[in-house]
Chains A and B, each alone.
Chain A
Amino acid sequence: MQVPIAHFLILAAILFSLGVLGVVIRRNAIVIFMSIELMLNSVNLTFLAFSNYLQNVEGQVLVFLVMVVAAAEVAVGLAIIVAIFRIRETVHVDDIKLLKW
């Protein structure tokens, strides 16, 4: 039996909302990072759902693109977090406010 597309979309929406909530609420840089990944993956899920629903492969191509960008972003982002941790010994974003006057 075919799972209705609405289910995929609702699941993706829930995951995206969790990601947003994590970014807004959490103070740990690593967790924020993971929440961003969660949002990206919820988008991937949406792409796949529509790809299957519309029987169009372009959606799956875009998923690969998103994964590549996400991998690159994680590499840069984690490098920044590690660099900050080495200097400040914390990854708590409330303590990282150099630009705040």
Chain B
Amino acid sequence: MESFIWYIPLLPLLGAIINGVFGKLLKEKAGIVANLTILGSFYFTVKAFLYVKDGITFNGNLFTWISAGNLQVPFGVLVDQLSIIIMLVVTGVGFLIHLYSIGYMHGDPGVARYFAYLNLFVFSMLLLVMGNNLVLLYLGWEGVGLCSYLLIGFWYEKHSAARAGMKAFITNRVGDFGFALGIFLIFSTLGTIQYAEIFQQVDKLAAAGVLTAATLLLFVGATGKSAQFPLYIWLPDAMEGPTPVSALIHAATMVTAGVYMVARFNLLYAMSEVAQAVVVTIGTFTAVFAATMALVNNDIKRVLAYSTISQLGYMFIGVGVGAFAAGIFHLMTHAFFKALLFLGAGSVMHALANNTDIRKMGGLYPKIKITAITFIVAWLAISGIPPFAGFFSKDEILAKAFAYSPVVWVFGALGAVLTAFYMSRLVFLTFFGKFRGGEELEHHIHESPPVMTIPLSILAILSAIGGFVGVPELLGGSNHFEHFLEPVFERAQEHLHFAHVSHGLEYTLMATSVLLALAGIGFAYLMYIKGTISPAKMTERFKGIYTVLYHKYYVDEFVEAAIIRPLLAFSRWLWHVVDDGIIDGIVNLVGKVTILFGLIFRRIQTGYVQNYAAFIVLGVILILAYYIFG
């Protein structure tokens, strides 16, 4: 495996360099370069997967990257059951999105730049996943953050896009600060940043009493990158970027980095009950909180963004309660159906001249059938309708959550109802009923080219059947997925304590969650298709709640008032008083004193030879006087 494993991250880097340097020459061909590199990367990942499937994992170093004192950072990769799954998602789903991008970005003047960023993103993401130490993880972590910033602000001439990029970057800085502190804490306690050594010496970490602190600091980073409360605010705005970017970075891969990180450090989290409780609490709260905001939003991409935040919350419930395999399972299925939803939304926007307002859509089903059908598959998957992928993964998480604490299950189920409702609302308003966007636009509607619909179809198939790799034993499956991941989470098991849940109860829970999802869909059906319940009347009746939800709980306003404004004022104070006043003042003072001396002494230098002669004479007289009288 060592012979080809390095190609996996390096191919996308090569693509990024080629597209970055020769982009002006390549123009539209940049898409082909980018696709080939990702395809190659995917090929080698599959090859590596075949080894891992047989139980052969790889942990090796290419070279020493940093060597300073007792800090040794090798450039090394770890390919085990956990990382190979994420690598498959990153390169596989990544390839489909690259393919889709050829159609979506066709004709954009910055297409080469776009593909260079996208390739660089895949490289960073693979580095994040494959690295066998914390510093490489951090490098990838920052790399994906950078690419996210660059791609959100891809249309930088649009003010809102540039602002959204900055918002994402700065919000992530807050999280990454905690993440870096976590790494420092682990390094200063153990003197190593290699995963293998950290897991070996984990008892030392616990004995030093920093285990909880370290895991919580790392989790701060995860809340930033994976858009959990309270650092989720950047993700909805990130929708300013091109839609395939939202699919790849802000749904399928980058935002799941936090989930991967927690799963990677499963042993550390399993050993700290406090950390587990915090992860579960944040995850549960975010899952419901974000879902409520999705209920009333009218922007097709923003609804999906809130949905992503909510689904990430579920993943954190999974890894938080100790059901690491379930969390990763949901990560994978979510990558399928959420990427599909975003790409579908992109296809809809493509058909409607970039309109994203669902109030101006409707009745699109007969006109863009492939998009509509694939979107519907994804809708059923995310709503948790069996046998689509989302049902198995979400149910797995909810079952384990119940064993951890029934309260978490209640909130998880509530989130599931809300998810089913807002997704149904989205689907019904977009694809059914009458078109509300005006006649001129209606004339324009057309299906996307095959280069876009083929990725949609493949993702639809994956969303439909992807869940079968992890059918729980309860339903007569053998849960291949969990068994595959077992070696990675083996050591954590002894620290986890689940309450016993009888089979009967598990069936009941499963049936309940499906019924709740159906109820959510049914309610949306009554509201938006049948019209039995008028949405306008509902709005009128729950005006207070509606307003709060519509304004996203005024969190942005709060952040603006409580953090941004004071920070800006403080920065201005630093600028005007400290920098302009004190620092520049000192520098200017030196200059002014010099000028003052110059003004005085330049009077001696008149330029008249006679004056100089006079000075010479004066000097001679003084010297003579010294010899005569002195």
Interface centre among A23, A27, A101, by most B CB within 10 Å?
A23
Determine whether the beta carbon of B607 is less than 8 Å from that of A94: no
User: Is A93 within 8 A of B606, CB to CB?
Assistant: no
User: In the bound complex, do residue A24 and residue B609 qualify as a contact, i.e. CB atoms below 8 Å apart?
Assistant: no
Of all chain B residues, the one with the shortest Cβ separation from A25 is B610
The answer to whether A93 and B607 touch (CB under 8 A), given A20-B617, A24-B614, A24-B617, is: no
- Cα A101 to Cα B606 with chains together (Å): 9
Bound complex: CA of A25 vs CA of B617, how far in Å? 12
Chain A 32-56 per-residue mask, 1 if CB under 8 angstroms from chain B, else 0: 1000000000000000000000000
Q: How far is the CB of A76 from chain B (nearest CB, A)?
A: 16
A23 and B613 contact, CB distance less than 8 A: yes
Q: B614 contacts which chain A residues (CB < 8 A)?
A: 24
Q: CB-CB < 8 A to B606: which residues of A?
A: 100
Q: How far is the CA of A55 from the CA of B98 in the complex (A)?
A: 112
Q: Which residue of B lies closest to A100 (CB)?
A: B607
Shortest B516–chain A CB gap in Å is 90
Q: A97 to B607, Cβ gap below 8 A?
A: yes
* Chain B residues with CB under 8 A of A20: 613, 617
The reply to whether the CB of A99 lies closer than 8 angstroms to some CB of chain B is yes
Q: Are B610 and A24 in contact (CB under 8 A)?
A: yes
> What's the nearest-Cβ distance from chain B to residue A40, in Å?
15
CB contact list, B577-630 vs A, under 8 A: 606-610, 613-614, 617
Contact in complex: B617, A93 (CB < 8 Å):
no
Q: Is the CB of A97 within 8 A of B613?
A: no
On chain B, the residues within 8 Å of A27 by CB distance are 610
Does A23 contact B610, Cβ atoms closer than 8 Å?
Answer: yes
Secondary structure call for the A interface: helix
Q: Contact: B607 with A99, CB < 8 Å? A: yes
Residues of B within 8 A of A32 (CB): 610
Cα-based distance from A97 to B607 in the complex (angstroms): 7
Q: A93 to B613, Cβ gap below 8 A?
A: no
Closest CB-CB distance, B48 to chain A, in whole Å?
76
Instruction: Knowing A20-B617, A24-B617, say if A97 contacts B608 (CB, 8 Å).
Output: yes
Give bound CA distance, A97 to B606, whole Å: 10
Majority SS at the chain B contact face: helix
Could you tell me the distance between the alpha carbons of A101 and B609 in the complex, rounded to whole angstroms? 14
Which residues of chain A from 58 to 101 have any CB-CB distance to chain B below 8 Å in the complex? 93-94, 97, 99-101
CA distance A93 to B609 in the complex (A): 9
B614 nearest in chain A by CB position: A24
Partner of B607, one of A23, A24, A25, A101: A101
- In this complex, how many residues of chain A approach chain B with their Cβ under 8 Å: the count is 12
A5-B463 Cα distance, complex, nearest whole Å: 126
Which residues on A sit within 8 Å (CB–CB) of B613?
20, 23-24
Return A27 CB to nearest CB of chain B, in Å. 8
Give the distance to chain A from B613, nearest Cβ to Cβ, in Å. Answer: 5
Question: Please, how many angstroms separate the alpha-carbon atoms of A99 and B607 in the complex?
Answer: 7
A94: chain B residues at CB < 8 Å are 608
Contacts of A99 in B (CB 8 A): 607
> What residues of A have a CB within 8 angstroms of the CB of B608 in the complex?
93-94, 97, 100
In residues 7-40 of chain A, which contact B (Cβ within 8 Å)? 20, 23-25, 27, 32
In the bound complex, how far is the Cα of B614 from the Cα of A99, in angstroms? 19
CA A94 – CA B607 in complex, angstroms? Answer: 10
Cα A93 to Cα B614 with chains together (Å): 15
| Whole-angstrom CA separation of A93 from B606 in the bound complex | 13
> Smallest distance from the beta carbon of A18 to chain B beta carbons, Å?
13
What residues of chain B lie closer than 8 Å to A23, measured between beta carbons? Answer: 610, 613
Chain A residues with CB under 8 Å of B610's CB are 23-25, 27, 32, 93
Contact with A along B278-296 (1 / 0, CB 8 A): 0000000000000000000
Chain A residues with Cβ below 8 Å from B617 are 20, 24
Q: Which residues of A contact B607 (CB under 8 A)?
A: 97, 99-101
State the CA gap A87–B608 with chains docked (Å).
19
Q: Which residue of A lies closest to B606 (CB)?
A: A100
A97 to B613, alpha carbons, bound, how many Å? 16
What's the Cα separation between A23 and B613 when bound, in Å? 8
Tell me, rounded to whole Å, the shortest Cβ–Cβ distance linking B628 to chain A. Answer: 13
Q: Which positions 559-588 of chain B face chain A at CB distance < 8 Å?
A: none
Chain A residue nearest to B611 (CB atoms) is A24
State the Cβ distance, B428 to closest chain A Cβ, in Å. 84
CB-nearest residue of chain A to B609: A93
Residues in A with CB closer than 8 Å to B609 are 93
What is the bound-complex CA distance between A72 and B559, given in angstroms?
90
* Separation of A44 and B617 alpha carbons in the complex (Å): 20
> Complex: how many Å from CA A27 to CA B606?
14
* Chain B hits for A100, CB < 8 A: 606-608
Which of chain A's residues has its CB closest to B602's CB? A101
Docked Cα-Cα span, A20 to B614, in Å, equals 8
CA separation between A20 and B617, bound complex, in Å? 8
Q: Give the distance in Å from the alpha carbon of A94 to the alpha carbon of B609 in the complex.
A: 10
Q: Which residue of A lies closest to B620 (CB)?
A: A20
Q: How far is B617's CA from A93's CA once the two chains are assembled, in angstroms?
A: 19
Complex Cα gap A98–B609 (Å):
12
Query: Smallest Cβ distance from B603 to chain A, in angstroms?
Result: 13
User: Nearest chain-A residue to B608 (Cβ)?
Assistant: A93
Inter-chain CA distance A30–B201, complex, in Å, is 99
Assembly CA distance A20 to B613 (angstroms): 9
- Taking CB as reference atom, which chain A residue is nearest B617? A20
B200-224 interface (Cβ within 8 A of A): none
Return A65 CB to nearest CB of chain B, in Å. 23
CA A99 to CA B609, docked complex, whole Å:
11
A93 to B608, CA, bound (A): 8
Contacts of A25 in B (CB 8 A): 610
Q: A46: shortest Cβ distance to chain B, in Å?
A: 15
**What's the Cα separation between A27 and B607 when bound, in Å?**
14
Residues of B within 8 A of A (CB): 606-610, 613-614, 617
User: Across chains A and B, which 7 residue pairs bring their CB atoms closest together, nearest first?
Assistant: A100-B607, A24-B614, A20-B617, A97-B607, A23-B613, A24-B610, A24-B613
List, sorted by A's number, 22 A–B pairs whose CB atoms are closer than 8 Å.
A20-B613, A20-B617, A23-B610, A23-B613, A24-B610, A24-B613, A24-B614, A24-B617, A25-B610, A27-B610, A32-B610, A93-B608, A93-B609, A93-B610, A94-B608, A97-B607, A97-B608, A99-B607, A100-B606, A100-B607, A100-B608, A101-B607
13 extra interface residue pairs, beta carbon distance < 8 Å, beyond A24-B614, A25-B610, A32-B610? A20-B613, A24-B610, A24-B613, A24-B617, A27-B610, A93-B608, A93-B609, A94-B608, A97-B608, A100-B606, A100-B607, A100-B608, A101-B607
